[in-house]
Amino acid sequence: MGSTRGHAGASVPADTKRRREVHALPADREHDAPGARLRAERRRRHWDKPEMARRLGRALTGSHPSITTLISYVKRWESGKVDISERYRLAYAAAFDTNVDELFGNDEPSGDLVYAGSAEVIAPRRHSGPVAPELADYFRDQLAGHYTADRHLGSLRLIPTAVTQYQLLCELANAADGRLRHTMWALAAGYSAFIGWLYQDGGDVDRSVYWHDVMIERAHRSLDPQLVGFSLHNKAMLHADMLDGPGVVDLARAALVHESILAPKVRVLALQQTAHGTSLVGGDDARDECDRLLDDAAGLLDRIDDPYPWGSACLTPHYLDVQRATCYGRLGLADEALTVWGRVLPAMSAGARRDVGVFRARQAQALAMRGEPEQAVQIAGEVVTLAEETGSARMARELQALETHMRPWAKEAPGRELGLMLASMGGTT
């Protein structure tokens, strides 16, 4: 990054130093909470939250969340409920034309505690004494409980607990031997998958990528080819959210390299994820290839019978219908997508609010593609409420995609209504 984004003590041009003197924080605000400090600096420049989000987006390098998602981040950071990682601290410093030390003082980003887990990946602390086999059941039950709690608490609340337990699992796995050691590493892979999912749903792509990579490494330590295949499927699913079609196909096909030894469940997951990658890549034969892959997966559903606690989403009703409707929507097949969504969504559990919100937003996209903007915006209103209640960045991304499909009506009533809805997700200034 440029010199204006460096830490204190770095060599900077004289004119940059003068600009920093102008934008230096008032001395009496030096020890204020970071959230209040950021809010005060934003207001001092007469920026609203969308403008702050746009400036952060320009300051960030590499992939980053949508502006709609960044607005929700700004709201959370200023409230003090969520700490700010080093990457976003640097972006804030660049946006305010100051440096990190002047803006944040001696405050340490507690969110980076999650990255402290990387030290555990290299050298877990030593556990003294034998590892009781009963601990595997304990951690397995805890993880199942975390997934249940996640449906009610949202993406970010469980991360500190899950990370602490993951680190303890690494200590135990390192001290165990034989089959128990492999079991503990498998559980560690499960916890890292869960943490990666939490960050994925919360919109923090960098940390989600990190934890998915950890998951793949831990899965290999378990020596279980089924878990390795599942971890590659999870990483492919993350790349689908990043709209990286070739990456999805690469990872899903890697999971299927040894297809003959894979359990039916793993094959179903990898096949449907290959279909997602194919729909993102597109092409003349994409629709036929997606149908073939999903039909092959459907033929395996009745054969799923394994002891693994993970990956059971593929056993839920209409699982492959959801994947098919999503692929059709990406390929611009609005009528086909709406036919499937019309069959699937009424049957979905009300408890799966985040999934329902994502799928409803995709249904709205198909309606816009078919030239029904009023109906699309009506559904979008329901999704905006769900996104605000759950903090799901996945819903926010789907709503942003809907905004793209609604461009033909941007200056008409439906387009203006959608714009107001999306702006409201950032809160007031």
CA angle 407–410–414, rounded 5-degree value: 110
Predicted confidence (pLDDT) per residue in 322-371, tens digit: 999 999 999 999 999 999 999 999 988 776 788 899 999 999 999 999 99
Q: 269, 284, 314: which is the final residue of a domain?
A: 314
**How many C-beta atoms lie closer than 10 Å to residue 254's C-beta?**
16
Residue type, 29: R
Q: 314, 345, 368: which is the final residue of a domain?
A: 314
Contact 370, 338 (CB under 8 A): yes
Looking at the structure, tell me whether residues 345 and 410 fall in a common domain.
yes
Looking at the structure, tell me whether residues 310 and 325 fall in a common domain.
no
**Whole domain around residue 11: which residue ranges?**
3-108
Looking at the structure, tell me whether residues 62 and 123 fall in a common domain.
no
Contact 361, 341 (CB under 8 A): no
Looking at the structure, tell me whether residues 341 and 387 fall in a common domain.
yes
Looking at the structure, tell me whether residues 292 and 198 fall in a common domain.
no
The structure tokens listed for 263 are 């359990």
Which of the residue ranges 160-164, 168-172, 201-205, 281-285 would you say has the lowest mean pLDDT?
201-205
Burial of 123 (0-12, 13-18, 19+ CB in 10 A): exposed
CATH of the domain at 50: 1.10.260.40
Residue 388 has pLDDT above 90, yes or no: no
Contact 396, 72 (CB under 8 A): yes
Please indicate, yes or no, whether the overall pTM of this predicted structure exceeds 0.75. no
Looking at the structure, tell me whether residues 418 and 399 fall in a common domain.
yes
CB burial of 99-120 (b: ≥16 within 10 Å; e: otherwise) equals: bbbbbbeebebebeebeebeeb
The model's confidence at residue 82, banded by pLDDT at 50, 70 and 90, is: low
Looking at the structure, tell me whether residues 337 and 418 fall in a common domain.
yes
What whole-number distance in Å separates Cα of residue 355 and Cα of residue 330? 17
Looking at the structure, tell me whether residues 144 and 131 fall in a common domain.
yes
The structure tokens listed for 165 are 């337990």
SS3 content of the chain, % helix, strand, coil (to 5): 75, 0, 25
Residue 122 has pLDDT above 50, yes or no: no
What whole-number distance in Å separates Cα of residue 227 and Cα of residue 220? 8
Contact 326, 276 (CB under 8 A): yes
Looking at the structure, tell me whether residues 285 and 265 fall in a common domain.
yes
What whole-number distance in Å separates Cα of residue 307 and Cα of residue 270? 18
CATH of the domain at 368: 1.25.40.10
Looking at the structure, tell me whether residues 278 and 321 fall in a common domain.
no
The rounded mean pLDDT for the chain is 83
How much is the pLDDT for 192?
95
Q: 108, 143, 170: which is the final residue of a domain?
A: 108
Predicted confidence (pLDDT) per residue in 168-194, tens digit: 999 999 999 999 999 999 999 999 999
The model's confidence at residue 128, banded by pLDDT at 50, 70 and 90, is: low
Number of domains in the chain: 4
Predicted confidence (pLDDT) per residue in 256-306, tens digit: 999 999 999 999 999 999 999 999 999 999 999 999 999 999 999 999 999
The structure tokens listed for 239 are 């790349």
Per the document, the length of the chain is: 429
**How many C-beta atoms lie closer than 10 Å to residue 72's C-beta?**
24
How much is the pLDDT for 58?
85
Contact 246, 277 (CB under 8 A): yes
Looking at the structure, tell me whether residues 283 and 192 fall in a common domain.
no
Residue 117 has pLDDT above 50, yes or no: no
Looking at the structure, tell me whether residues 135 and 195 fall in a common domain.
yes
